[in-house]
A and B are shown apart, each in its own frame.
Chain A
Amino acid sequence: MKLQFMKILRDLLSNKGKSFLVVLSIAVGVIGVGVIGHTKYTIEKGMNDSISKSSPPNGTILTNGFDPKLVDKIKSIVGVTKIETRGIYDGQIKVKSKGKDKRHKLQLTVQDFNQTKTLDNITPNKGNWPPENGEILLERISLGYLNIKIGDEVWVETSNGQVSKLQVAGTVQHRGKETTTLSKTSYGYINKETSENLNISEYNVILFKTKNNKEKTVLKTAEKIRDAIVKNGYYVQSTIIHDVNKHWGFDIVNSMSKVLQSIGILTLILGASLVVNTTLSIMRNQIPQIGIMKVLGASNQNLFMIYIGYIISYGLIALFVGVPISLFLAKFLTSNSTELLNFESIGLPFSWKIFFLQLIVGVGLPVLSATIPVLNGIRMTVQQALKSQDMNEYPQNRLTSVLLKIRIFSIPFLLTVRSTFKKWFRLFLTVLTLSLGGAIVISVITVYESMNSTLEASLKYNHYDVRIAVSGIHDREQTRELAAVSGVKKVESWQAATGSIIRQDGLTGTEVKIAKPVAGTDLMEPKIIKGRWFENQNKNEIVLDSYILNSEPHLRVGDKMTININGKEYDWKIVGFVRKVAGEVVHFVNHAPFVDEKIGNLSFVHLITNSNEKSVQNRIAKKVKNKFIENHFSVHHSITTKEIKEIQETRANVVILFLIFMSIIMSVVATLGLMGSLSLNVMERSKEIAIMKLIGASDSNLWRMMMLEAFIIGLISFLIGTLLAYPISIMLSNNVGQSLFHANLDYTFSSLGIVIWFIIVLILSLIASFSPAYKATKIPVNQILSYE
């Protein structure tokens, strides 16, 4: 081995403490970037795999039960390349859990298991396939959610009141459905024979695929299919146009991705500052050796190669350590995705692109940051290089001059303060690291609080306990009479309708639900984010739920909006946007001509009950629904406000848990940064410390000084971190809000976050100072001073 490389190797091994610190600092950057990058990559890959395996249709049309001949007619429509049918019905599933009966929401799919389904397909997971008569297959996540096992018996009740006992024959994976974990709805699959016993044997859903995925083609084809359905004497209940490239969990994942991207950039800065900090320190200590080697005849090229090789070696060791740790953490972080997003077992979350980025952070960045000090060192004269370690230098600048004038404190305190500010660039990088860590922690807590207050504000929309969507009922008095069962305190019915937006180019766009709240209702508190709420004198105004911007991003306040309701077009003027983060997407109108014309036949019946208990409210809702069914009205769905809250909290918690994990990583990185910086200071000031020990400094003096230094850095970082947290938290909170709800969150800058971070900083400073202080007390005075 060449002597130059022997030197590199021995330098690495001779000072294990410093080598460890340098490797740790670089590895922290490598880990930070790796965890975020590999996690993001894995989740995105999981979504893409899900999409390609589930083969989503371009559109789904929900209609009433139809004859199989209708399918043949639709197949012949130009532009339709594939068509499949199913029966999809809402119901409830009753399971025995810990000896008690528990009811859960159920969506039951009826399909012919002998025919190969290629659209929105389900794949066998465990147990029997296909299910026999009297058997039900459950989505694999639903089985866990219901806390039952294959072979158990369950009671299934459809919305028409039919009840049947079925045996769970096995599980399937339905990648195209929002998981039960998030939707709180279980998914069951039965064959035709079983469905006949439940009186839901008719197919009511048409899935179609078009010749291409262009929105215009899909919308045009959907329109033709709808026309065909209506022409053949059926009615269209709703049309859902799918973006086939978009996973159902895209909004949640996208919000996390945006958070990851923001934090990723900050981590990169953080990691980079750690790397630059340590690299500069190494080079500073090596400069006298450069002088010696120059005396011995080393050329500039020799020296450059040695020191760049030195830095590369550190980087490679850091990569060797950091990459596996980042993969392990990314695996941990994505492990819940099988449960939350219905991914396959994700294996090792690894992306070459991210590895390349880690390579840049681990090797490229240290080399880059070392280049200038290496070149500076090489350019120094021998004399300058040999003298560079002289301790008798205190930098003279404005800051140090001010510090020299401060006299009111004790000398050890002054010495600590002046030493802290002596290496201002290191201090800057350390403060930057810790401040960013702090800013992220405060921001995460701020996002958490903002999310909570947004959810709370959103739930104020619903001052009712239950909403039941009923069709065919127009008489408000009759509605009130039917809904007034025992336990109901108040009933309020809003006229509603389902229609489709007619775009300016004449194409039928997104399907929308509109409702006309009773004038002066106290059941809702709209949160206007753009424009205004209704002014009663103006007719035909519409206030849209901001979520519509997801599918119709061109809509603006002041635009005219045409909605086709059962074949008739109505115009409204958009006067505002409201943000509602929980429950179904409903837009509000102040005038409902479709009601007068008996075109819209939907009503939202709102109940306020005497009970605050979810189970009691569900029982009351069931009674009311039965009353409607008994009177031959069709109940579409019902939901309690508590259920909406649960669903939203689950969705929000996914993001929040993720943010908390990220902030923990950031805090660890920041602490390591502080610890590293303090340790470097101790190493570089070992002579100073030895002298202090020599003139009487006890271990407790040194401990106090190190802790004080950590606290000073912590305090500065706390102040800067708090300031930085403001813009960062606004950015994060807006990102999360826009991704999840297409509206900003109700931003609340968290004072609790500031207090929490202050406490964390104090504790972290204490922890970070521990190792350097211990090292300081163990500095061997005789060895440090003997070479003099």
Chain B
Amino acid sequence: MQIEIKNVIKIYQNDENSCIALKDINLSIKSGDFVSIVGKSGSGKSSLLNIITGIDTPTEGEIWIGNEGIHLMKTRKISRWRGENIGVVFQFFQLLPALTVLENIMLPMEFCRKYHPKERRNKSQELLNLVGLAGFEDKLPNQLSGGQQQRVAIARALANDPVVIVADEPTGSLDSKTAEVIFALFEDLAAKGKTVIMVTHDEELANRANRKITIVDGEITQVVDLSGGLMNEITVYENIT
């Protein structure tokens, strides 16, 4: 599923001030791409992710994911659509503390009525196996380590078999060893054909994606094609259309 971002501007406005978070962003992400987004704190990385996931709306511009215009979608419909099509992973895992590991993974399936109710448990178990946490089904999130929690969060993001995985600093609160394990999971997902968009501070990890996008002050200043693991092209984009 292709992602097209066209002329997106995001301005945050309050009574006294306005702040331009994204300035005329144009970006195209092909199906199966593994894209990393880097930039300093406050550069607009998270704003861009929020707009891609439909968590936030652009002030101007269009976002197309496949044939769906996210910018056109009604607020009450977007949650269900996101649940079915985009898996989101956060830096701080955001698991629901009152649900066990397996229940956390099953929850999106129930919200989106994906799979037959009897199948959901098995599917969740498969995802838990995939992230290497078999045997942790009945644990509560607070009984797990940070890395384990993030793996559950990834399994949850995959619950409805979405085509796009969006991760906001997924390794930001993990030690380097655990971060490596988590990143490997994302690489694996990309290898299996999922479109992965990941915001990170870690240059080393960012360079392991297919493409690296740098954002400075709300503008895309660099898109680096890293296909094949080599930096074979560096381009400064003024405007991509």
B-contacting residues of A (Cβ < 8 Å)?
391-394, 404, 410-412, 414-415, 418-419, 422, 687-688, 691-699, 701, 777, 781-782, 785-786, 788
Contacts and interface: CB of A to CB of B under 8 A. Distances in A.
A688 B77 CA distance: 19
B154 to A, nearest CB: 12
9 contacts: A393-B97, A394-B140, A688-B96, A692-B111, A694-B79, A696-B82, A698-B79, A698-B80, A788-B94
Contacts of B138: 404
Contacts of B140: 394, 404
Nearest to B169: A788
A701 B53 CA distance: 19
Chain B interface category by residue count: 35 or more
Give the secondary structure class of B's interface.
Answer: helix
A687 B77 CA distance: 20
B97 A394 contact: yes
Given A415-B98, A415-B99, 16 more contacts: A392-B97, A393-B97, A404-B140, A415-B96, A691-B94, A692-B96, A695-B82, A695-B107, A695-B156, A695-B157, A696-B84, A696-B160, A697-B79, A786-B46, A786-B50, A788-B92
Contact of A788 (B56, B91, B95): B91
A782 B111 contact: no
Contacts of A422: 98
Contact of B110 (A392, A410, A691, A693): A410
Contacts of B142: 392-394
Contact of B79 (A393, A419, A696): A696
B96 A782 contact: no
Nearest to B107: A411
B110 A411 contact: yes
Given A699-B76, A782-B55, A786-B46, A692 B97 contact: no
Contacts of B218: none
Contacts of A419: 98
B83 A414 contact: no
Contact of A415 (B50, B107, B108, B160): B107
Contacts of B96: 415, 688, 691-692
Nearest to A420: B98
A774 to B, nearest CB: 12
Interface string B123-147: 0000000000000001011100000
B98 A692 contact: no
Contacts of B149: 392
Contact of A411 (B50, B55, B106): B106
A696 B50 contact: no
Nearest to A696: B83
Contacts of A411: 99, 103, 106-107, 110
B88 interface: yes
Contacts of B100: 404
Given A411-B110, A415-B96, A415-B98, A696 B90 contact: no
Interface string B88-122: 10111111111110010011101110000100000
A650 to B, nearest CB: 55
Contact of B80 (A412, A696, A782): A696
Nearest to B160: A696
Interface string B149-186: 10000001101100000000000000000000000000
Contacts of A414: 99, 103
Per CB-CB distance, the 3 closest pairs between chain A and chain B, nearest first, are A696-B83, A418-B98, A696-B111
Given A392-B142, A411-B99, A698 B76 contact: yes
B95 A392 contact: yes
A693 B79 contact: yes
Contacts of B82: 694-696
Contacts of B157: 695
A271 B110 CA distance: 39
A701 B109 CA distance: 12
Contacts of A404: 100, 138, 140
Given A392-B142, A785-B94, A788-B90, A697 B99 contact: no
